[in-house]
Structures are given as structure tokens and as C-alpha cells.
Amino acid sequence: MSVSVGIVGASGFAGSEIARILSEHPYFDVDVLAAASSAGSRFGDLNPHIPALADKIIQPSDVETLSSLDLVFVALPHGESAQITSALEGGPVVIDAGADHRLKSEESWQKFYGGPHMQAWDYAMPELVHADEAAAILSGKQKKAGTQREILRNSRAVAVPGCNVTAVTLAMMPAVASGFVTSGSIVATLAVGYSGAGRSPKPNLMATSAFSNIAPYSAVGKHRHIPEIVQNLQVCGADEIEVEMTPVLVPTSRGIVAVVNVAMDGVSNSELQEVYRAVYGAEQLIELSPGYPQSGPVVGTGRAQVWAGVNPDTGVLTAMAAIDNLGKGTAAVAVQAANLAFGFDECIGIYMNGVL
């Protein structure tokens, strides 16, 4: 089976990474690479690290051309994706790597993004544990999350999570699904590579600003990924939960390490380890790290590393997750969802080996 594919926003970091993964995929054939300002350029001039697609010419984002394909990835900033996705409705399978179709709450959308609120699409986190299946997973009767995977199978419209969202959700999900954390405030601090800010040149993203510099941003409740994290944890079974999140740009291109802290009551470290093993033990793309996760081993891959421990003196849970923001944080999970939508093994084509 051959699936014809288009990538809108192919010259950006996310679109280019989707192209890199698909260039070696056995079933997905990249027919159209589309973008705005770079239309007419040779793809290899912008992405010389992807020789298999180097001679393709980047095209304008023509809806008629895209509609003739089987699958379209859209990798555009929020507010821009919806213009394309609305025009493609009823045509190819569409996977949106932007924010336009992530949030169910119009109120949250208006508060953090603004502008028209679009319909929330099927959510591209196959490992997301739903509250009504948590008991079966924790008891061992069910090996891994199944509800979200079933939603994504044969889906026609898929929203890819935010990269910071994925890191925090994966760190906290077993603790929430087990009922160890159901309410209160979780505090997340994330070290984030600069590629998460996109490819557009901005003074604060230039090398002269990035080298030898550590720069927090979007603190005190301002980060747009906060309501999406809350939305995910409520799917897992949380009640009223708040997220304090501080991302920090660090001088590296790719990678995220999230460190999440939350108070628990009377949970031992052995109990904690048991639930993390139950939730992630059968997952191919999520591994429980014996030590604190680091970004290096997962850069260039679709894998995630997770670690959790509890301070016996304070009862505070510290959970950590490391991902490649362009891998498991965006492009790899987009391909993972596409695999499910077309009935393939979800891990086909996703890079497992890092680049150290």
C-alpha cells in the first residue's frame, strides 16, 4: 500500500522533521512539499540533511493539489493551520502539528491564544491513559493504553500535541491515572532547545543571544501549553488541577527535559515505581530511565525517557521526562498517529536510535 503525502510548512523545523522521517517510510510517499515564502526553492537547499527529497521544489500551498492526496501534514503557526485544514475538510486525512485543533475549551483558547476557536480533533497521543481504563492497566489486565489508540485508528482529522505538553503529560500521567495525584497544583520547569521556537529569525533567538545564555520565558501562568496539559490530565482522571509551568531556553538546538513536582500523601517510592511500570512497561516509545532522563539519548528519535521518585521526608513527587521536541514532541508522534490512521503498526518509520 502506497500513501501519497503532502507537507504544508515543509520549510519549517517541524515540517522538515516530518519530511526526514517520511523520506525513509516504507508506505508514505512524499509527493508535495509546500510552504509560503520559500515556494520555488529547492528543498535540499534548505534541508541538505535529507538527500532523498533534496531535488523536490517547494510549492505554494494549493488546496486543489493537496486535496488530491491521501494524507496531508500541516505544520504552521497557530491561527494559520485552520485556513488550510478547513479547506481540506472531507478530503485527505489531515494531521495538524499546530495548535488550532488541540483545545476543547473555547474559554481556554480565548485566554491563551485568541481568535476563532476551532473544533478539537482526535488527539495524537496514543499512550494517553483514559480514566475508565486506568484500573485495568494498573492491575495488569490491560497491557497499555487502548482507548486513545482506538480513537486514532481510521481517524480523518488529528491534532498533534504541543511538545512541552507531551513532556509534562508523560512525566505525570501514571501518578494521575493511579489516583496518587488528583487535584492541587503541579509545578513544572522545563529546559527547552531553541528549535521549539520555530525557524523564523528573531533577535532573541539568534546565536548571539543563545550561546552561553539560559533564558526563562512565559512564566507565571502565561505559557499557551498550560490548558492542554490540564486537559490531558483530566482525561487521565484528575479533578481540579492547576499547572505552574516555567520553560527555560537552554543553548541546544533540540530536546526538552521536564522536571515536575507535586505533593502527594502517603505514597511510597515502591508504590510509585509499580504504577509507572504498569503504565509504561509495554510501551515501545516510552522507556523508564534508571537515572535522571537526559535529552541527548533521545535526540533524533521518537522515544521518550521517564523517571519518577518520591522524597520520603516531604512526600513530594518528582517526575521527569526527556524528549526530542521535534521527535516525540512533534514530527515522530505525527507519523505515529498517521500510521494508526492508515492501519499500520504505529512505530513503522519512527527512528529509535539516537545520534550521540
- CA 328 to each of CA 106, 124, 301: distance values in angstroms, whole numbers, following the listed order: 27, 11, 7
- Grid coordinates in use for 62? 494549493
Are residues 126 and 173 in contact, defined by beta-carbon separation less than 8 angstroms? no
Residue with cell 541538505: 48
CA gap 42, 11 in Å, rounded: 10
Alpha carbons within 13 A on the beta-carbon side of 353: 1
The reply to whether 163 belongs to the active site is yes
Cell of 15: 515540517
Q: CA dist 261 to 44, 134, 153, 183, Å?
A: 43, 22, 34, 13
Using the structure block, give the residue that is written with the C-alpha cell 539516537.
Answer: 354
Beta strands in the chain (DSSP E): 3-8, 28-34, 71-74, 93-96, 122-123, 157-159, 184-192, 215-216, 241-249, 256-263, 286-288, 304-310, 316-323
Beta-bridged to residue 216, according to DSSP, are 248
CA–chain centroid gap for 293, Å, is 17
Long-range (24+ apart) CB contacts under 8 A made by 340-343 are 340/126, 340/149, 340/152, 340/153, 340/155, 341/71, 341/93, 341/95, 341/152, 341/153, 341/154, 341/155, 341/156, 341/158, 342/1, 342/3, 342/27, 342/70, 342/71, 342/93, 343/153, 343/154
Kindly name the residue from 22, 151, 163, 238 that is annotated as catalytic: 163
Reading the block at residue 315, the C-alpha cell is 512526600
Residue 310 half-sphere exposure toward CB, CA atoms < 13 A = 21
The dihedral built from the CA positions of residue 110, 112, 115 and 117, taken in this order, carries a sign that is negative
Count of all residues that appear for the chain in the document: 356
Q: Which residues are catalytic?
A: 163
